[in-house]
């Protein structure tokens, strides 16, 4: 098991693991509506599937926010 | 319940008025259920009827909040000409059950601010305590 930080909390994971895999692993309710930051850098959605995580990575998920009146 | 200082409520209303005719939006950070800081964000839709956050700005707020030992505990947006109640679009695009959703309405002469929480896919009223 390896350690990464997800939303500022330590999490043990098994590599290889992509960002898409991590989103599934964390049971994110609406994965299509999540934005991702990896080690402080914004990650484009098209890169979720191909970005491999590594030991010590810090990843943040945020839900898209929008609406209308 | 969410506790919000009066000066932050005043700040949200001021931003909503300043960004008319478009909807205004932003994030609130703090500790527990108490708001401590307002972060006005860009409505990238630039629309009187819709709003969307800029995800990069959201992450900047997250970074600032963490640096101050705070968390994002609420978001807000304005309804320039309709009541302070969640629209169908607001409900459809609400995904985070861990934060409060504030709406400020400028439809009447006196602005109205209300809070809601996401429960079972619906936005239900949440009490605001002004502190």
pLDDT in tens, B49-78: 999 999 999 999 999 999 999 999 999 999
Distance from CA of A14 to the nearest CA of B (A): 26
Nearest to A63 among B23, B56, B95 (CB): B95
**Residue ranges making up the domain that contains B60:** 2-130
Work out the average pLDDT over B91-114: 96
Distance from CA of B32 to the nearest CA of A (A): 16
Counts for chain B of helices (H) and strands (E), in that order: 3, 9
At A27 the pLDDT is 86
The total number of structural domains that make up chain A: 1
Residues forming a β-bridge with B79: B105
What ipTM describes this predicted complex?
0.86
Q: Which of these, B116, B44, B22, lies nearest to B74 by C-alpha position?
A: B116
CATH of the domain at A37: 3.10.20.30
Q: Do the beta carbons of residue B50 and residue A66 sit within 8 Å?
A: yes
CATH of the domain at B54: 3.40.140.10
Whether residue A69 is contained in a domain is answered as no
At A1 the pLDDT is 86
Quote the pTM value.
0.93
**Residue ranges making up the domain that contains A9:** 2-63
At A4 the pLDDT is 98
Strand, helix or coil at B56?
helix
A33: nearest CA partner in chain B: B95
User: Is the Cβ pair A33, B63 closer than 8 Å?
Assistant: no
In this model, does residue A69 exceed pLDDT 90? no
The total number of structural domains that make up chain B: 1
Distance from CA of A5 to the nearest CA of B (A): 14
Q: Which of these, A38, A18, A23, lies nearest to B59 by C-alpha position?
A: A38
Whether residue A14 is contained in a domain is answered as yes
Strand, helix or coil at B81?
coil
Whether residue A53 is contained in a domain is answered as yes
pLDDT band at B127 (very low <50, low <70, confident <90, very high): very high
Whether residue A15 is contained in a domain is answered as yes
């Amino acid at each position: 098991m390896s350690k990464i930080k997800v939303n500022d909390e330590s999490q043990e994971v098994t590599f290889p693991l992509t960002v898409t895999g991590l989103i599934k692993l964390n049971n994110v309710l609406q994965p299509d509506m999540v934005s991702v930051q990896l080690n402080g850098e914004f990650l484009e959605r098209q890169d979720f599937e191909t970005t491999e995580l590594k030991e010590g990575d810090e990843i943040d998920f945020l839900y898209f926010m929008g609406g209308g009146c | 319940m969410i506790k919000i200082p009066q000066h932050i409520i005043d700040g949200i209303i001021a931003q909503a008025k300043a960004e008319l005719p478009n909807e205004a939006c932003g994030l609130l950070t703090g500790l527990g259920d108490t708001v401590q800081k307002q972060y006005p964000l860009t409505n990238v839709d630039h629309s009187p009827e819709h709003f969307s956050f800029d995800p990069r700005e959201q992450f900047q707020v997250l970074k600032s909040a963490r640096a101050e030992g705070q968390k994002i505990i609420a978001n807000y947006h304005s309804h320039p000409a309709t009541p302070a109640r969640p629209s169908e679009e607001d409900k459809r695009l609400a995904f985070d059950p861990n934060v409060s959703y504030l709406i400020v309405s400028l439809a009447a002469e006196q602005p109205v601010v209300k809070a809601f929480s996401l429960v079972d896919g619906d936005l239900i009223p949440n009490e605001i305590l002004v502190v």
